[in-house]
Amino acid sequence: MLHLAKVPGLPARLKKMKVERFLPSAVLLPFVREFLIIESDLDISSKTIPDTSMTMAFRYMGKIMRMDGDETLSLPGIAIAGLRKSVRQFIYTKHTANLLVIFAPGGINAFSRLPAHELFERHIAAENLFPATELNEIMERLAEAANNKRRVDVIQYFLLKYLKNNEPDALINEALHLIRQHGGIIKIRDLVSSLYISQDAFEKRFRATVGSTPKQYASIVRLRRLIAAYPSFTSLTDASYEAGYFDQSHFIKDFRLFTGQTPKDFFRSPEYW
């Protein structure tokens, strides 16, 4: 278990949250990266920057809201979030508990026939993909479970029931590997050439499987890598050059969309998930 209060340098308000991580079973491992259970005893605001994984959230206690400009939107008890290119702000009310399924890139396709790109930049209620009666029963079982391990077992049983395709797409997995290997700095035409497929066919297949265009996915990989490696650079300019940006105004524009802040403000006190 990871208790945020023990993480050095973490913003004080996030130290009020407790996060417990669980790995999936061997059968689910190709499709699910991990399970997270996030518990908050206080009202807390948290920021999430774009990631390469889609998520499914089961909020079995409390309430979670998303900020959309000046609006505060209540999220459904069970929601599925697609990939996105921009930051999101969430508010956890007191005594909230949320179980997150963090899918591997493209992993949600093993459980749903909905093309993943239809969820890009969207939060939808899970009942759009799964029977509402079954989802209600799962929420009851999560609330009644004796501990978090049993809660994860409830969700794993649910996912195994809907596992439709246990053969990951080898070509898309190779593309994901190459994008990560190059830190997101790769020309899509070069990527396509190495995979021996037409660009149109590849982009359509990638979007339906992963949930974004290859270029959007590579941008997420590139900026996340820059943020993780930032302390090792002598300057922000060096960091941006290493990430393949040679136009500072372009870099700042992309970074602000990604994090909601300028690079200078973000790295002064990074507060994100």
Amino acid at 122: R
Contact 239, 228 (CB under 8 A): no
The Cβ of residue 139 has, within 10 Å, a number of other Cβ atoms equal to: 17
Contact 200, 168 (CB under 8 A): no
Q: Write out pLDDT tens, residues 68-87.
A: 777 888 889 999 999 999 99
pLDDT tens sequence across 150-209: 999 999 999 999 998 778 899 999 999 999 999 999 999 999 999 999 999 999 999 999
* Beta sheet of 71-74, edge-to-edge order: 44-48, 88-92, 64-68, 71-74
Question: What are the residues facing 102 on neighbouring strands?
Answer: 34, 55
Q: For helices 214-229 and 170-181, what crossing angle results, to 10°?
A: 40
Maximum C-alpha span of the chain: 55
The average confidence (pLDDT) of the chain is 89
The pTM score is 0.89
Q: Are 57 and 98 in contact (CB under 8 A)?
A: yes
The domains of the chain, with CATH numbers, are: 2-161 (2.60.120.10), 170-268 (1.10.10.60)
C-alpha to C-alpha distances, 21 to 11, 57, 100, 201, 237, nearest whole angstrom: 20, 14, 10, 37, 35
**At residue 147, does pLDDT exceed 80?**
yes
